[in-house]
Structure formats: structure tokens, C-alpha cells
């Protein structure tokens, strides 16, 4: 993490250069989104702590309920600690609380040995009702408000800016600039797919195109040879079908093969087809 994120001297061995750059990008991305995601994290922490406090209170109240008024208090307390799993089970079934919300039973047993159960508070229905109302009414409102505000705000409204965060993705040395699907984005060369076009066109001709196009069935037989997951091949096909007619012409087929090559080379696919990868025949305006 240190070398990938804070090392600003030349790398003695650049075998893992891309790994270091990826680690740096991931770390800085996480840091930039801290303000944006901070409130959601706080709310989620509040929910977890409330659930845990409620379960603790239920366990304490249940232990108090089983305590005798006068005699054999110490012996009864030992019995209750020994049978804590049964108390957990009773509370689970009575209140519908998952086992994962309960504190670790062995830790709880050790801590309970230091307390006098007769001093514990009994079950307070009013307080538990207030907790349930908060969780059912107030928390969803807060969650909805936070999510709604984030969706209506600009994508980077809460992001950290300045210093290294501003130069991270600047040309020409930004993260993965000019690599993978970003290759050819500088606009100084021809359509990047043309580099291997002659190979793609030969295969396209063997797939018996009709009116210059081939169906997804014919394309599938060729694409599965890559051994990429079907979900990835589906995404590649959708990105390549630029005119959305369900068929691929020679340009779109070449684009599909180019995207497959990018993925096989270890790069990610774009979420949407960037302008420089749109076939020239499909562009409405020049880049």
C-alpha cells in the first residue's frame, strides 16, 4: 500500500507497476468518497449499536426476572449464567431477533460474573417501544433523506479535492490513461479497432452475414471461444450493438472482438461505450 500510494521515486523494478497504480487508485478513490459515504456509515453504525443495546437490555431484563427476591441469589445467578444459551434462545423466539445480533455468549458469561443480577433493571416496555418506533419510523426517514440528497447532488459534490486528488486522472499520466479501452482516446490516430481489422473481417466473412449483418446466434459461436463468462460476453455484445438492432455489422463485430481482446488482456470493460470506440460509420459528429 505504501509503495503503491505514496512512493514518488522511480521504481527499481517495474514488474508490478500496474498493481501499484491500481492500489493507489483504489486507496485514493476510497479517500475521496469518505465525506460522501460518511453519513451513511454513521447511520449504519447507529443501527448496529441500537440493535446491540436492545439485545443487551433484553438479556439483562430476562436475567433480572429470574432472580429470587431474597434467598439463594448467588446460586441462582450461577445457574442463569450457565444456562445463558437457553435465555438467548427464549429471547430470539419471543422477539424475532437473529442470533447474529447477540453478544458472544462466552464473553457475556465472563462479564456477567462481576455483576449482581438483583440490581439489574426489569423490562421497561415504554423504552423498548420508543426504540422500536425509532427503528421503524425515524431511521428509514433518515436513510431516505441521505440517499435522496446524494442522488440529487453532483457526483463529486462531496468528494475531496485538491493536491494529489486533482491530478490523479489528468492527462497524460492518469491511471490507465491510453490503456485498455482508453487506448485511442487521444483522437490523434484512426479508429483503434482498425489495427486488427483485417483479422476480424476474415472471420466475419465466414459467419455468412445476411445483408451485411450477422445474428447473435452466429456471433455467440465465435465469442464463446474466448472462454470469457457469459455475463461478460453479454456486456460486450450490448456495447458492440451500437445501433441497437440486435445484429452486428462488420464494424460492430470488429468492435466486439476488440473489446474481447481488451478483457482477455486483463483490463476492465467500460460501463458505456466511449465516443472514440464508436465505429466511424455510426458517429453523428466527428470526435
Residue 27 lies in a domain: no
Residue 3 lies in a domain: no
The contacts of residue 84 (CB under 8 Å, 6+ apart) are 59, 105, 108, 109, 112
DSSP string, 16-79: THHHHHHHHHHHHHHHHTHHHHHHHHHHHHHHHHHHHHHHHHHHHHHHHHHS-SSSSHHHHHHH
Rounded Cα gap, residues 176 and 29, in angstroms:
14
pLDDT reported for residue 88: 95
The contacts of residue 30 (CB under 8 Å, 6+ apart) are none
| Helix-helix angle 84-95:73-82, to 10 degrees | 70
Residues 144 and 251 in one domain: no
Residues 192 and 236 in one domain: yes
Residues 193 and 130 in one domain: no
Residue 163 lies in a domain: no
Closest CA to 248 of 282, 273, 286: 282
Rounded Cα gap, residues 276 and 287, in angstroms:
7
Rounded Cα gap, residues 35 and 157, in angstroms:
9
Residues 200 and 130 in one domain: no
Mean pLDDT of 51-70: 91
Kindly report the CATH number assigned to the domain that includes residue 225: 1.10.238.10
Residue 229: band (very low, low, confident or very high) from pLDDT cuts 50, 70, 90: confident
Residues 141 and 187 in one domain: no
Domain end call among 132, 152, 172 = 152
Closest CA to 22 of 174, 228, 172: 174
Residues 139 and 59 in one domain: yes
Contact in structure between 204 and 214 (CB atoms under 8 Å):
yes
How many domains does the structure of the chain reveal?
Answer: 2
Kindly report the CATH number assigned to the domain that includes residue 88: 1.10.268.20
CA angle 270, 281, 190 (to 5 degrees): 70
Q: How far are the Cα atoms of 46, 84, 133, 157 from residue 110, in angstroms, in the given order?
A: 26, 11, 33, 48
Domain end call among 99, 132, 152 = 152
Q: What is the pLDDT of residues 138-193, one digit of tens each?
A: 999 888 887 777 666 554 544 555 555 555 555 544 544 557 777 877 766 688 88
Counted residue by residue, the chain has a size of 287
Residues 142 and 51 in one domain: yes
Higher-confidence residue: 155 or 34? Answer: 34
Residue 7 lies in a domain: no
Residue 272 lies in a domain: yes
Cβ neighbours around 286 below 10 Å, total: 6
Residue 266: band (very low, low, confident or very high) from pLDDT cuts 50, 70, 90: confident
pLDDT reported for residue 163: 58
Question: What's the N-to-C CA distance of the chain in angstroms?
Answer: 38
pLDDT for 236 beyond 50: yes
Rounded Cα gap, residues 196 and 200, in angstroms:
7
Residue 113 lies in a domain: yes
Residues 147 and 191 in one domain: no
The contacts of residue 26 (CB under 8 Å, 6+ apart) are none
Residues 47 and 141 in one domain: yes
Higher-confidence residue: 282 or 160? Answer: 282
Residues 207 and 143 in one domain: no
Domain end call among 110, 134, 152 = 152
Closest CA to 204 of 169, 146, 252, 144: 252
Residues 146 and 185 in one domain: no
Residue 233 lies in a domain: yes
Residue 2 lies in a domain: no
CA angle 211, 212, 217 (to 5 degrees): 95
Residues 42 and 94 in one domain: yes
Range of the domain at 110: 36-152
pTM of the complete model: 0.47
Q: Which residues pair with 213 in a beta bridge?
A: 210, 249
Amino acid at each position: 500500500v505504501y509503495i503503491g500510494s505514496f512512493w514518488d521515486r522511480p521504481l527499481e523494478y517495474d514488474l508490478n507497476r500496474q498493481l501499484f497504480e491500481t492500489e493507489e487508485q483504489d486507496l485514493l478513490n476510497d479517500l475521496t468518497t469518505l465525506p460522501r459515504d460518511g453519513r451513511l456509515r454513521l447511520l449504519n453504525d447507529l443501527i448496529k449499536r441500537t440493535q446491540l443495546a436492545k439485545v443487551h437490555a433484553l438479556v439483562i431484563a430476562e436475567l433480572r426476572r429470574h432472580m429470587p427476591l431474597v434467598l439463594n441469589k448467588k446460586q441462582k445467578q450461577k445457574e442463569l449464567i450457565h444456562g445463558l444459551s437457553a435465555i438467548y434462545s427464549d429471547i430470539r423466539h419471543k422477539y424475532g431477533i437473529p442470533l447474529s445480533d447477540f453478544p458472544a455468549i462466552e464473553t457475556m458469561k465472563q462479564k456477567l460474573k462481576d455483576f449482581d443480577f438483583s440490581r439489574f433493571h426489569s423490562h421497561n416496555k415504554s423504552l423498548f417501544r420508543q426504540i422500536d418506533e425509532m427503528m421503524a419510523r425515524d431511521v428509514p426517514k433518515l436513510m431516505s433523506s441521505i440517499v435522496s440528497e446524494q442522488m440529487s447532488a453532483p457526483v463529486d459534490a462531496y468528494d475531496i479535492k485538491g493536491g494529489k486528488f486533482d491530478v490523479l486522472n489528468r492527462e497524460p499520466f492518469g491511471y490507465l490513461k491510453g490503456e485498455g479501452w482508453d487506448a485511442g482516446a487521444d483522437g490523434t490516430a484512426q479508429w483503434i479497432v482498425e489495427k486488427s481489422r483485417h483479422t476480424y473481417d476474415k472471420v466475419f466473412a465466414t459467419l455468412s452475414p445476411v445483408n451485411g449483418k450477422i445474428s447473435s446466434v452466429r456471433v455467440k459461436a465465435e465469442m464463446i471461444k474466448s472462454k470469457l463468462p457469459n455475463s461478460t460476453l453479454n456486456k460486450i455484445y450490448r456495447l458492440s450493438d451500437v445501433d441497437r438492432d440486435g445484429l452486428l455489422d462488420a464494424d460492430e463485430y470488429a468492435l466486439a472482438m476488440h473489446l474481447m481482446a481488451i478483457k482477455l488482456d486483463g483490463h476492465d470493460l467500460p460501463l458505456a461505450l466511449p465516443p472514440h470506440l464508436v465505429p466511424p460509420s455510426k458517429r453523428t459528429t466527428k470526435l
